[in-house]
Amino acid sequence: MTAGVIGSEFRHERLTVFSDRETGATGAIAVDSTALGPAMGGLRLFAYASLDELIVDALRLARAMSFKNAAAGLELGGGKAVLLDDGRWGDLREERMRAVGRQIEALAGEYITAEDVGTSPGDMQAIAAETAYVAGRPADLGGRGDPSPYTARTVFAAIAAAARIELRRTDLEGLRVGVQGVGNVGGRLVALLTEAGAEVFVADLDEVRAEAVAAAYGATALPLDGFLWGEFDVLAPCALGGAIGLDDVDRIGARIIAGAANNPLADRDVGVALARRGVLYVPDFIANSGGIIHVGSEALGLDAAVTEVRLEASIDRLERILTEARDTGRLPLELAEQHAETVLREGRGNGASRRSPQLS
């Protein structure tokens, strides 16, 4: 590890790096903050080029989770676990996931995991054999299952709110929306949008999937090339992060960008440049909060009615942030971060403070 890699911006409460002797499962668990409650964030399996890269990703993602959980009004801190995909997970998968479960158990509730890029509800089930500090297990095995429908719901609400506030639209009839990436979240988002009367365009790396989603919901599949710059009212990035770079800014045709993808902008400068061009960017972590509210509620043992209240509250908050941004000329990202920072500083989620989650 080079000395400069972990600067003060990456100081966390705890960083655990592990390499399991028996199974070879190698990864890191970063706990950024437990100020609001146990640190929660998904488990990512990715082919990192080096251990440095893996650790820095864990630290960055854990910090992002502190903001996301605070912004979502959850009594949860921020953490993240990442695993090295060394191409040998195939047969060893269950044993390795159990090894990860033992690492999580050793943290005694400081960190709670869930699925993320590269992991599945089935992996959470394997982890659950070793620790109770896991959410997102399959619904038929006592968990709450896939968070994607909830993520799609808050992204849809973000698009509707942005269209109302920015475009003065009272409904979505005929609104042109481009959805980039039609997987678990994007596909469901397309269904919600077409049901509301929007004119939806889709593109995916997997062209067969794009065609199938378009046919199922009456949307139009377009080539991926140049899709970001399409003449849409709203662009909804629902693939992977970093899709929109500085070079794209001048060519973006949409007035609004709101989607599920984490970190859809290559960096902060892109957000500032978009604002200068009059493009409203709805911050990822407030648009896609439905997913973490769903799994976070499972971890906190909240029932369906309370979870619903949390979801609605997050949508209200999102609308308030967008309205304040319009009225003050400030960036929604700045306002959302300010809100999350205040919550973190004051150590309050929805009124509760640190306590052990009730896990089943």
CB closer to ligand NAI, 261 vs 274: 261
Q: Which amino acid type is present at position 110?
A: E
Does position 119 interact with ligand NAI (CB under 6 A)? The reply is: no
Strands 26-33 and 77-84: antiparallel
Residue 68 annotated as catalytic: no
Which of 54, 112, 135, 185: binder of ligand NAI (CB under 6 A)? 185
Q: Given the DSSP bridges, would you call strands 176-180 and 26-33 parallel, antiparallel or unpaired? A: unpaired
- Indicate the residue among 143 and 291 with the shorter CB distance to ligand NAI: 291
When the beta carbons of 177 and 182 are compared against ligand NAI, the nearer one is 182
Phi first, then psi, for residue 199 (nearest 5°) are -95, 110
With vertex at residue 92, the alpha carbon angle to CA 239 and CA 80, rounded to the nearest 5 degrees, is 45
Q: Which residue has the tokens 């000329």?
A: 329
Q: How many residues bind ligand NAI (CB under 6 A)?
A: 26
CA distances from 119 to 44, 63, 146, 253 (A): 6, 20, 12, 34
Please name which of 244, 242, 240 lies closest in space to residue 252, comparing C-alpha atoms. 244
Q: Kindly state the DSSP code that residue 244 receives in the 8-state scheme.
A: B
Token couple for 126: 């394997």
Interaction of residue 118 with ligand NAI, rule CB under 6 A: no
Residue 159 in contact with ligand NAI, rule: CB under 6 A: no
78/186 with CB nearer ligand NAI: 186
Q: Which of 63, 80, 310, 339 is flagged as catalytic?
A: 80
Q: Which of 113, 151, 154, 194 binds ligand NAI (CB under 6 A)?
A: 151
The distance of closest approach from Cβ of residue 11 to ligand NAI in the complex, given in angstroms and rounded to an integer, is 25
- Under the binding rule (CB under 6 A), the answer on residue 266 touching ligand NAI is no
Alpha-carbon distance of 292 to 333, in angstroms, equals 18
Binders of ligand NAI among residues 308 to 347 (CB under 6 A) are: none
Enumerate binding residues for ligand NAI (CB under 6 A): 117, 147-148, 151, 180-186, 203-206, 209, 224, 238-241, 260-262, 288, 291
State the catalytic residues: 80
